[in-house]
Amino acid sequence: MTTETIDAIERRAVMHSWCVQADWRGPTIVGGDGAYFVDDRGRRYLDMSSLAECSNLGHQHPQVVRAIQEQAAKLCFVTAAWGAEPRARLAQLLLEKSGFDGGRVFFTLGGADANEHAVKFARQASRKPRGRVITRERSYHGASYAAMALSGDSRTESQVDAASFGVLRVPPPYAYRCPFGTTNDQDCGAAAAARVGEVIDGAGAGAVAAVLMEPNAGTNGIVAPENFWPRVREETAQRGVHLIADEVMSGFGRCGEWFAWQRYGEAGRPDLMTLAKGLTGAHLPLGAVVLSAQVAAPLEHTMLYTGLTYCGHPLACAAGVAAVRAYEEEGLIVRSRRLGADMRAALDRIAMRHPVVGEVRGGVGLFAVVELVRDRATRAPLAPWPTTHASLRALVDRARDAGVSFATRGNLIILAPPLVIGERELADALALLDRLLGEFDWT
Ligand SMILES: Cc1ncc(COP(=O)(O)O)c(C=O)c1O
């Protein structure tokens, strides 16, 4: 038996994601409950980001844990090509919640492969096996090769030739720094959506098979203006191009609806959507592609040349069924909307007190972004994207010492707590943020 500590083994033997290995210094987590997780020193942290914006139900949700245990006792695995009760039940629930009557669900292992499969299905259904796919600059759709090509992510663009994957890019509806030079949200949303139509037309007749985007709030801290998604829907529908909504992060209550596109009603309905993260509340890895009836129909009588060994794993699907029931029975979608509004109001008050806050975005649901700037008037970034200013890194460390875990991306603070967070806990965490913003030098 080795006497080496777990921390030492982590440092020596494990390759950690999204970091310089030699600099890794993460906490070791041993447990959790509700909106808190617990480290190996027994310290509890209020989780203000649902870890990777995925623990929407909080940590160790008892109903989900029980469902996994019960399923494990019955049946752990069956090949994805055969049937399994929890998979069928979860597919049915997802079709019900999304209103994709007559559609089908393909289960994956997570978000990246859900997006890759959605593109495959859109191409196959539109009989354009190598059709082009339009995605946004400053977007994230996963880190496997094709998902990296789909992502407009400056951190990884040198690793993959997006054009060779048939990917075309459009500027994002980032109204605070509008790439079209507009000065208000709606104009930026309209210009960004119109560009999608122009790029489809510019690619040549029938060249584009799909447009893949997050409908509203996003991994990269952009919250699309209200008119953006319905207009993208119009642009794509007019041209017969499939629209794929990446709901990996925005789904399951994060943006105040089961799925973020639903805030626009039928005017926002995509042809396919991809899910992961909140699908099991991160209790087990699982992703899904939900196909509308129109997309599923042409695939009914053709061979489906795809599938991963663990697609739709029964344990993960059992967790998914329990998670969907928990969102429903605990009224968490509505709760997210209510607490999201409270969070937004508190952040707006914080912005008034701290000039380093350039803009607060979101708050329709428990997702908000605080963008920090060097100069509010010029909107000069605090540090060049995607780097993080030293004071913001120090703020995060100080908050963690105080028992609250905040996530940052570049100079953005991403607020996405579990939907089960208490009112008091949320208010205390935001009060801590308010205090800490006043304690650092932002020059
Ligand atoms: C919008 C979005 N799409 C896709 C992914 C990739 O999901 P996964 O990490 O499960 O592959 C993420 C992950 O952060 C995401 O936020």
- Check residue 1 and give its pLDDT: 54
Can you list the domains of the chain with their CATH numbers?
A: 6-60+331-437 (3.90.1150.10), 64-329 (3.40.640.10)
Residue 420 CA to ligand 1 centre (angstroms): 22
CA-wise closest residue to 56 among 252, 248, 316: 252
- Check residue 330 and give its pLDDT: 98
Q: 42: which residues sit within 8 A by CB, 6+ positions away?
A: none
Residue 373 CA to ligand 1 centre (angstroms): 26
- Check residue 205 and give its pLDDT: 85
Pocket test for ligand 1, best of 107, 254, 277 (most atoms within 8 A of CB): 277
Residue 340 CA to ligand 1 centre (angstroms): 22
- Check residue 443 and give its pLDDT: 84
**pTM of the shown model:** 0.97
Mean pLDDT by groups of 10 residues along the chain of 443 residues: 84 95 93 97 97 98 98 97 97 98 98 98 94 97 97 93 97 97 97 98 95 92 97 98 98 98 98 98 98 98 95 98 98 98 98 97 97 96 93 97 97 98 98 97 88
- Check residue 129 and give its pLDDT: 87
Query: For residue 307, what are the CA distances in angstroms to 122, 125, 441?
Result: 16, 17, 52
Question: Can you tell me whether residue 106 is helix, strand or coil?
Answer: strand
- Check residue 210 and give its pLDDT: 98
User: Closest Cα to atom 13, ligand 1: which residue?
Assistant: 142
- Check residue 257 and give its pLDDT: 98
Dig out the tokens for 416 from the structure: 């996405």
CA-wise closest residue to 56 among 416, 423, 317, 427: 416
- Classify residue 433 by its DSSP letter: H
